[in-house]
Every structure is written in structure tokens, then in C-alpha cells.
Chain A
């Protein structure tokens, strides 16, 4: 039995929405200043970022490649995640079981995380076990085995995990919404792939992917915890001296996603639903766009974590229609996205959907007042203090900023830049980047129950695309 909370945790929200840091993570630096991080060259032309925390007997460690799921070839979606996962399942002649025994024996964790823009190996280890941990990680990067039998086993495991995720309606909604949002754009690739795309991946694909991605100039090494920069650099140079220095994968600008033609409803049909998951939004600007921060503040005012955010106030506090209602701006190296999320009882679906769309349209038309901007600036800057309170969160934010092509001081200067945002800049950003007329909308509900309610409310049945919950 889980404790019941006043509202869904931000963590849950972020996991559901995607792994891309958004306002909630980027808006992180406030009251107390975060310790400074040191940056410098890493092995083989890579970048090294370190935040020493002398009192901590733990080290958080990341190797991030600036290549993610967006670069997966069409028809082989999921390749980046598959290859990275397979690298840790057999290296330097040690089979998966031996590697997992060794990592667990050190008390270490090591995970694979792939988003559209990056592939990351990240974990934590006790300082006293850092050397054998780095030995293991280096073997995965430099000498992965990619054995065919492990490839087949891993493929089946990932497919089974995709199936398992269908149990959770929010994950299910996010998976379908993300593809709807971006369509054929590379950001529409499901990072974990599909059963069909995973089935088409061969050993040579994995090998080529690994060789392409793990080259020095494409990598960021980062750590936070009980380690100094000089010490870590020495340990890395020793172990990663053979890291390839070959050509860096092209980071050509991504195309603009196609604009949605008005708005249609994608209805993911799952039996026996009493509640409807609703996601809505559209592609937006890249993280490096000068309008990004003003737009983030506008969206934080509209759908951020505050109980006084417009969506929470109107949907939950005033009307009791939902337990939570949010919108965030997902920031990426390429075009990010505005993504709203609300969930409500079946009988309230139409009312809630119309309400949130009306409020979004109103935001586009009226913007936010100077008083409201001052409020949200204070809240966002304050939230930074908590979000950046632990070294691992700061580390993740710094790596994400680097992946997104942002300046080195992105994390540390965030509060000052938030304070400097003017009402005029917010108004301009809203006017340029909000597009309430062209939306992707995904619902998870039971179609036979919901369609009559939608049709009754004058939503044409032809504007509803029904897809089964247990396919693709």
C-alpha cells in the first residue's frame, strides 16, 4: 500500500511526460547557491564535468553521448537504447551475469537512459569502490562483446518491458502522444522502439551504432560526489586511453516538425477505463532559442507545479474535476514541445477537455500580467533551490544543458536570467510560439463509452482516430 499524496509527485509527472528536463528541472537554482562545477578536457577529446562534494562517500557518474533516439534509422527505432543496453550485458569476455554480480558486489548501480538527443550510462558507486566500477564501465565502452545469444535475450526483454508499460495508463498515454506530437519527425521515434523495429535490428547494426556513438568528441564524462577533478581525470585517462577519436556523428540541425492540421483526437482504446488520461500540446522551440526562458515562465504560470498555476487552480481547486492538471515545456536540442496532461473521470472528460483547451487558447490570446510574471519568477527561482539540492540532480541538469547546446553557465546563472525576463519578452514568446489552433490530442479511455460523449458534445466522429491499447 502506498501513502496517498496531495498531488502526483513531480517525479511521476516527469517520468510520464518524458525523460527530457523541463521547466521543473531547469528552473532549478535559487535561494542557496549550488556548488560550482569544474569543466575541462576529458579522455580522447571528450568533455569532463565534475562537482566535488568532499563529505559524500558516494560518486554519481555519467557518460553521455550526444546521439540519441532521434538518430535511430527509420525501421530500426530503439537502436540507440538497444545497443547501449547490450554493451553492459557482456564485455571483455565477461558475460552479463558476471558483470551484474560484480556491479552489485560493489554496491553500484548502472543504468541506461536514452532520450531523443542523448544516450547515457549513469550510476552511483561508493567512493571506495570507484576504481573497479570504472574498470567495468570502461570495458563496456571499449570492449563490448555483443554476443548474438545475449542480443536475442535482450531483444525479448525489451519487448516484454514495452508490454508491461501498458499496465500504466499514464505511460501508455505518453507513449502514444509522443508519436502523435512529432509524427514523422525524428523526435517521434519511440526511444525504446517497437516489437517490429527491434525485430529488425541485427548485430552489425548494434556494432555500427556503438562505434559511431562512443567516440571521444561525442562524449561528456561527468561526476559528482567524493572525488576531485584531478583525481577523476587521472582515473579516466588511464582507463579510456583507447577511446576512439574518430569522426563525431553529424549534429546537423533537425527539421521543423510538421504543423498539426487543426486538431484531431487520438483515442487509445483500453477496456474498462473509469478515468480518461488526456494529453495535449504541440512542438515548440529548441532549448537554445532566445524565447525559451520567457516561454518557460509563461508555461510555468499556466501549468507548472504551483497550486496557483492556472490549470491546477481552474481544473482542480475551483471545480474538483481532476487530481492534477499540468503543462510543461520540454526543452531539447531541437524543437521542444508544449505538453499538457490531465486525467479525469469518464463522465467529466468532455467538460475537462474543453476547459483546458479554452484556457490554453486564452493564454495565447491574453498572455500573463506583470503581477503574474513576478509571482511565477519568484516561484520558479525558489523551486530551483529544492531541485538543485542534491548532487545527482545538479549533475543531470549540467549534462542535459550540455547536450542541449546551452552555455556552460546555464545551470548556475538560471536565477539571474529568470529575474531578468520582462513582461514584453513573455508576451512576444507567447505570440510567437503558442499555437492553440494546431494541437495533438491523445486520450486513453474506453472508446465505446467515450465516443458517444464526444459526439454528443459536437465533436465529429471523423475527427477521432481510435487505436488499440495493446498494439505497437
Chain B
């Protein structure tokens, strides 16, 4: 545990990576000349790295070119719509190869009991393909080449991560292209992965106080937007996934014109682009992607005050408050990130100072805005100390918010936040995997990888007046979900299903404690 060091939560990627991924800097040397307009203007791919045809003879089209310090990021598009972002770095020791699909839990049909399908399908992508028929072939070949693989699913995306020694890049290109169009599922694989994901859910939600609070909070905050459903899915839905459902999902969403390949690290850009064009070029674009259904309307949530308590084996109250938060690509996002930093971004941040140091009510406080395509939630976590209660912490949080919404922050506070964010920005970009992760996230969630770099300038330009404005807009009203896990005060809760070990995993559907709104 080494609990003596300062940490901003280590419990979740959304809090860690989202925070890191939003770090901007004031350093003018970061961003250099950027070619290509918003969204990338189509131009011929005859520039550096334009390597060869794509299997149908068409050259990749260069969409944009952007400097990251001494490095250059280029974005290309193949004829079938696959987008490719390349960031070679001769100082790296490895290659990060990520494939981002613009599909996440937001695309599931909850009314058809399909929550969790995007995530479970992500597991199934590691099984076998038509051309590599033996089970586990993908992992075996990748690992023989020295590569490590993983994947993640969120509301707005599914991403596959390969970390490679440089010489293994051709292996990754071949295998990733193969599974984009040739996956071959069996009933047994679906059954096994259902069990694995059920185990994942038990540990991450049913037996995790944070996981449960988080799931309940989103379920209460959103009334119609799919963010109300858990990414991992309801337990009953997980166990109802079939090969037919998974295959239909694959056919619908896994296509080159719904994907972005991001490659960073030690590789030759021209050779890599040529390999990618050859491997992915023959894959046809999906003609039905745009027919997936009506566009999901953003929902700003919550719109009122909602409170709920549950009992769990915790040493003292665990408090989670969800406020409205701007989307990752929102014009308000930079100022909101600065606001978050001022509130919780270090040992001297306002909430930490008040709750942990001065009043000694809490052992930790942490917060982060979700990195979502549509407006999400700003989650503030507080662990109370024994003998103290969530209401005491909430009172202090309210007092700090009242101050933040009453007057502008000082120049010193503003400068401190920006300096911390600059450090975190460089930390987040120090590895090949970090670069690929952030470029991909901004491309898929915020709509353009260049917003990652532009965010630097935005943050540098954030004024105290803007911080005041977003504080009032997002945190000023009493629109919040307040979740509290209290220590169990009596005998164990009855659990009729305990012999089966099944959590109901209801998330948004059933109350799990006392609720009022």
C-alpha cells in the first residue's frame, strides 16, 4: 500500500488516464505547424511515409501532419475508411500498436438485454479467425514475437493494445488486420468468456465498494442516455450473450471505416504505413454503419439532487458525489480541468487541504471528470475516517464550492494548477503506450487527435474568470448524485443467491439501498 505517499487515486483508468490525457501545457514548443483543416482535409498521400498502395492500388491519403516537439504525427486514411495515426520516435525502445473502434457500451441495446455486449465481445476478439483456426492462435503468435496484448472497453470506444519489440510490428499488423474481418467464434468460446466476464464483474462491482457506488451513481444520474448502463453489463445480460448476438455485433461495428490504428514508438513510418495498407486494404468498408440507429442525444445529468445509501463492509463512510461535467471535446473542458486541479490536484489542493489535513475528517479525496464523448459526470470521492460521517465532508465540499462559485481564484492558484498539469502532460506522453493511448482517445472520443495538443494552448489561456464561469455552471446548482456506502451496522444482508455466487448486477434497474431524490 505504501499509503504515505500522495496519490490521486489508483483505482480506475477513467480517473487516472482521463486526467493524464487532458493535460495541456503552455510550452509553445509542443505544437508546431499543423497541416490539414479540422477533421483533416483530403490530400494526396505523396508525402513522407506515404508508402505504397493498399491492396487495391490506392495510395493512403494524408489527412494531417502535426509536430509534437521534435517528433511528427501524421494521420492517413485508406480507401476503405481506415484511419491511421503514426508517431515514430527513435528514442523509444518499443512500439505501441493500438486499434480503436468507434463502438462502446453506448451502442448496446439495453432494452434487448444486451448490456455488456461491447465489453464481452472485446474478450472474444482474442479467440480465433478463419485463417488462424486454432484457439488462442492470436495470443500465441503475438507472444512468440515478444508482444503483450490487452484491450479496454468504455462507453464510447473499444481499444486493443499491443506492446511490441520493434521487430514484431509486421506480426501485429498481420494479426490485427486478420481479426478485423475474419473472426470465427465458437459457442464454447462464448460460454467460457461469459464466465470470465462474470468473474470480472464480481471482483470489480459486487465485491468492490467503489465499483458498486460508481455503477449506481451513473444509473441514477442519467435518465435516458446509455451512460446509465454499466460498461461491464448487468450480470443477467452477460450470461445471456450468445454466439449469434456476438457475431451480429461484430458484423455491425467492426469495419475499417469505424476504426483508427495508432502506432507510436520505434518504427519506420513509411514501412509501417505500407504494411498497414497492404494488410488492411483488402478489407471492405461497411456500408451499413450509418444505419446503426438514431443519433444518441446528449443528456446533461443529473438535473436534480439524488441521494442514496448502501451498506457495505467498509471501515468508515465512503462518499461519492457526481456532478455534471463537460464532454472531453467540449469548449468548457480546459477550464473545467483547471477547476478540478484546483479542487483536488495535489496535496495543497483545496479539498485535500480541508478534508485530510485541516479537519482530519478524511483519509483521502480524489476527483476526475469522465473522458466521455457526451457530457458525463465529475466524480468526487472521499474516504471518511472512523468516527466521521459523509455529511460532514459534504458540508465542507459545499463550503469550498460556494467559495469557488463566488469569486475568482487567485493567480497563484491558477499558476499552480497549470504547472501541475504541464508536468502530468509530459508524464503521460513519456512512453509509447502513453502516446498511443492519448492520441487514440482524443481522436475517437473528442473527434480529433490534434485536440490533445491544442488543449495545451487552451489550458495555458484559461483565465480566472473562465474557471469561475464553469464552476458556477457545473457545480453551482444542487444538481448532484450523492452516494454513500456506510459500514454495516447489523447482521449480514440476506443473499438468497449466495450459493450460486451470482450478483444481480442490476446497475440502473433496481435500487440497492435507500434512495430519495
Contact = CB atoms under 8 A, between A and B. Distances in A.
Interface of A: 1-7, 9, 15, 19, 29-35, 53, 55-58, 81-82, 84-85, 96-97, 100-101, 103-115, 124-126, 129, 153, 156-158, 160-169, 171, 175, 191-192, 270-275, 305-308, 313, 316-323, 343-348, 375, 378-379, 381-386, 388-393, 446, 449, 469-470
A9 B294 CA distance: 35
Contact of A153 (B145, B360, B498, B499): B360
Interface string B276-303: 0000000000000000000000000000
A275 B347 contact: no
A35 B91 CA distance: 8
B231 A32 contact: no
Contacts of A449: 498
B248 to A, nearest CB: 20
A67 to B, nearest CB: 16
Contact of B498 (A9, A58, A168, A346): A346
Given A126-B422, A272-B493, A275-B207, A30 B5 contact: no
A155 to B, nearest CB: 11
A107 to B, nearest CB: 3
A192 to B, nearest CB: 5
Which 10 A-B residue pairs are closest in the complex by CB-CB distance? Answer: A382-B146, A31-B165, A107-B419, A161-B3, A320-B195, A111-B5, A2-B12, A160-B363, A32-B93, A385-B94
Q: Secondary structure of the A side of the interface?
A: mixed
15 contacts: A5-B153, A6-B151, A53-B91, A103-B346, A104-B347, A105-B415, A111-B5, A157-B360, A164-B383, A167-B314, A273-B207, A320-B199, A323-B196, A323-B197, A347-B501
A128 B69 CA distance: 16
Given A161-B4, A164-B364, A382-B168, A275 B203 contact: yes
Interface of B: 1-7, 10-15, 27, 69-70, 91-96, 119, 122-123, 126, 136, 139-140, 143-155, 163-168, 191-200, 202-204, 206-211, 214-215, 218, 227, 230-232, 265-266, 312-316, 318, 345-349, 353, 356-357, 360, 362-364, 370, 383, 385-386, 412, 415-416, 418-423, 426-427, 430-434, 488, 492-493, 495, 498-503
A313 B422 CA distance: 42
Given A100-B347, A104-B348, A109 B2 contact: no
Contact of B412 (A15, A105, A162, A391): A105
Given A112-B2, A112-B5, A317 B199 contact: no
B143 A308 contact: yes
B200 A163 contact: no
A112 B347 CA distance: 13
Contacts of B232: 4
B154 A19 contact: no
Contacts of B196: 316, 320, 322-323
B151 A5 contact: yes
A241 B400 CA distance: 43
A4 B349 contact: no
Contact of A274 (B91, B207, B492): B207
Contact of B348 (A19, A56, A100, A375): A100
Q: Secondary structure of the B side of the interface?
A: mixed
B390 to A, nearest CB: 14
Contacts of A305: 148
A318 B151 CA distance: 20
A97 B231 contact: no
A92 B103 CA distance: 55
B154 A3 contact: yes
Contacts of A84: 4
A167 B211 CA distance: 11
B145 A382 contact: yes
Contact of A81 (B4, B230, B426): B4
Given A164-B315, A375-B143, A386-B433, A58 B5 contact: no
B126 A105 contact: no
A386 B166 contact: no
- Among A58, A108, A113, A449, the most chain B Cβ lie within 10 Å of the Cβ of A58
Nearest to B15: A2
Given A109-B423, A386-B163, A1 B214 contact: yes
- Among A111, A274, A319, A390, the most chain B Cβ lie within 10 Å of the Cβ of A274
Contacts of B5: 85, 111-113
A126 B357 contact: no
A4 B501 contact: no
Contacts of B498: 274, 346, 449
A81 B2 CA distance: 8
Given A163-B363, A192-B1, A470 B315 contact: yes
Given A101-B416, A270-B313, A389-B92, 14 more contacts: A2-B214, A4-B152, A5-B153, A6-B151, A103-B348, A106-B419, A107-B419, A157-B363, A162-B3, A306-B139, A322-B196, A385-B94, A389-B94, A389-B433
- Among B11, B145, B150, the most chain A Cβ lie within 10 Å of the Cβ of B150
B363 A164 contact: yes
Contact of A386 (B197, B416, B432, B499): B432
A84 B313 CA distance: 32
A343 B203 contact: yes
A56 B492 contact: no
Contact of B164 (A271, A346, A382): A382
Given A4-B119, A31-B168, A34-B93, A323 B203 contact: yes
B199 A112 contact: no
Contacts of B430: 56, 58, 390-392
Contacts of A100: 346-348, 353
Contacts of A393: 431
Given A31-B165, A105-B419, A161-B363, A389 B432 contact: yes
Contact of A271 (B230, B265, B315, B492): B492
A464 B385 CA distance: 32
B266 A32 contact: yes
A15 to B, nearest CB: 7
A31 B148 CA distance: 13
- Among A53, A160, A272, A318, the most chain B Cβ lie within 10 Å of the Cβ of A160
A15 B318 CA distance: 22
B495 A272 contact: yes
Contacts of B119: 4
B192 A320 contact: yes
B1 A165 contact: yes
Contact of B419 (A56, A129, A272): A129
A5 B157 CA distance: 12
- Among B204, B227, B348, the most chain A Cβ lie within 10 Å of the Cβ of B348
Contacts of B13: 2-3, 5
Contacts of B92: 32, 389
A449 B499 CA distance: 8
A4 B265 CA distance: 25
A125 B4 CA distance: 20
B144 A375 contact: yes
A111 B422 CA distance: 18
A446 B431 CA distance: 41
Given A157-B363, A163-B386, A386-B148, A85 B91 contact: no
B448 to A, nearest CB: 20
Contact of A167 (B12, B231, B315, B432): B315
Contacts of A58: 423, 426-427, 430
Contacts of B150: 5-7, 9
Nearest to B425: A58
Nearest to B347: A100
A100 B358 CA distance: 13
Given A104-B347, A114-B2, A191-B2, A2 B14 contact: yes
A193 to B, nearest CB: 10
Nearest to B70: A55
